[in-house]
Amino acid sequence: AVPLVVAVSTRLTAQNGLLIRDRAAFERARNLNAVLFDKTGTLTEGRFGVAGIVSLVDMAEDEVLAWAAGLESQSQHPIAQGVVRGAEERGVTAKPVESFRSLTGQGAEATIEGRSVRVVSPGYLKAHGLSADHADIDRLAAEGNTVVFVLIDDEPVGAIALADVVRQESFEAVSRLKEMGIQCMMVTGDAAPVAKSVAEKLGLDDYFAEVLPHQKVEKVREVRARGLNVAMIGDGVNDAPALVESDLGIAIGAGTDVAIESADIVLVRSDPRDVFAILALSRATYGKMI
């Protein structure tokens, strides 16, 4: 027979939108002492707005945006949605795209008006030996914005700064997890200054920035190598291997199917406080092992 306390907790979890796909993993959750959160869309809203545009050549800011919005109209990334919305708000018409290819974890490229257009991360720029220096870019980055660069035929023509906000619920999630003695960490493909800003706001114990999608799983291994039992929280296709590698994989909210299939637990609401709820409930149900 199922012990009463387990039956009760099963009902409690279901009622609260905590879908347990692997009960053994839920039982092991009582022994976790670290949580590794994905940043965009998990700790933050994942809803970007254009905070600034910098032109690096003789090109109006709106034209920089028109090239970028054309390309980004073909991408599903939260940054892409922010660029497209930014263009709409400014009344800028996105240029029609001839072909498109995603540069996973680094940006995307397209052919527009017969020219090669890319919108990419600072890490991509550096890796390709390109540089684009401007005091306004430094300022926008230092303010915690996500900065992407617009390249036309290998020339950086401008930069777009995008602002995302930390979810209000993340503050409580992190403070309650820390009270439980759980180390809170973050992994992101975004640049170091953005990661630092989010980590400082939330009081995270550690963070990993500029992590390419295939490297997220290595960060899970790195945390485990510190002798920690770690839960990974993510929503994207890119997070799936890390969800599998972690001691407890948690897919959040409106995550992708791949993330959901790779997870031990699915949080139906996109609320990071539910991570605390799961761990607390596991401890209450099975007792904390010493």
Q: Which residues have a catalytic role annotated? A: 38
The whole-angstrom distance between residue 28's C-alpha and the CA centroid of its chain comes to: 25
Which of Mg ion, ligand ADP, none interacts with 106 (beta carbon under 5 to 8 A by kind)?
ligand ADP
Q: Please report whether residue 51 would count as binding ligand ADP according to CB under 6 A.
A: no
CA distance 250 to 20: 9
State the CB neighbour count (10 A cutoff) for residue 103: 14
Question: Which H helix or E strand runs over 233?
Answer: strand 230-234
CA distance 60 to 50: 16
For residues 182 and 272, what is the distance between their CA atoms, to the nearest angstrom?
Answer: 14
156 binds ligand ADP (CB under 6 A): no
Q: Can you tell me the distance from the alpha carbon of 186 to that of 35, in angstroms, rounded to the nearest whole number?
A: 8
Q: Which is nearer to ligand ADP, 26 or 208 (CB)?
A: 208
Listing DSSP states for 182-211 in one string gives -EEEEE-SS-HHHHHHHHHHHT-SEEE-S-
Query: How many CA atoms lie less than 13 Å away from 146 in the CB half-sphere?
Result: 29
Cβ 71 vs Cβ 109: under 8 Å: yes
Nearest distance from residue 269's CB to ligand ADP, in Å? 20
Q: Which of 40, 55, 75, 270 binds Mg ion (CB under 5 A)?
A: 40
Q: Among 13, 73, 121, 285, which residue sits at the site for ligand ADP (rule: CB under 6 A)?
A: 121
| Residue ranges in 22-41 that form contacts with ligand ADP under rule CB under 6 A | 39-40
Q: Which of 9, 13, 73, 106 binds ligand ADP (CB under 6 A)?
A: 106
Q: Name 201's Cβ contacts closer than 8 Å, sequence gap at least 6.
A: 166
**Is residue 188 a contact residue for ligand ADP (CB under 6 A)?**
yes
255 interacts with Mg ion by CB under 5 A? no
CB of 209 to ligand ADP, least distance (A): 9
User: Of these partners, Mg ion, ligand ADP, none, which one is at the site of residue 170 (CB under 5 to 8 Å by kind)?
Assistant: none
Query: 44 is in the binding site of which of Mg ion, ligand ADP, none (Cβ under 5 to 8 A by kind)?
Result: none
Stretch that binds ligand ADP, among 7-15, 101-109, 172-180, 261-269 (CB under 6 A): 101-109
Q: Which residues bind ligand ADP (CB under 6 A)?
A: 39-40, 72, 75, 77, 79-80, 105-108, 119, 121, 146, 148, 188-190, 213, 236, 238
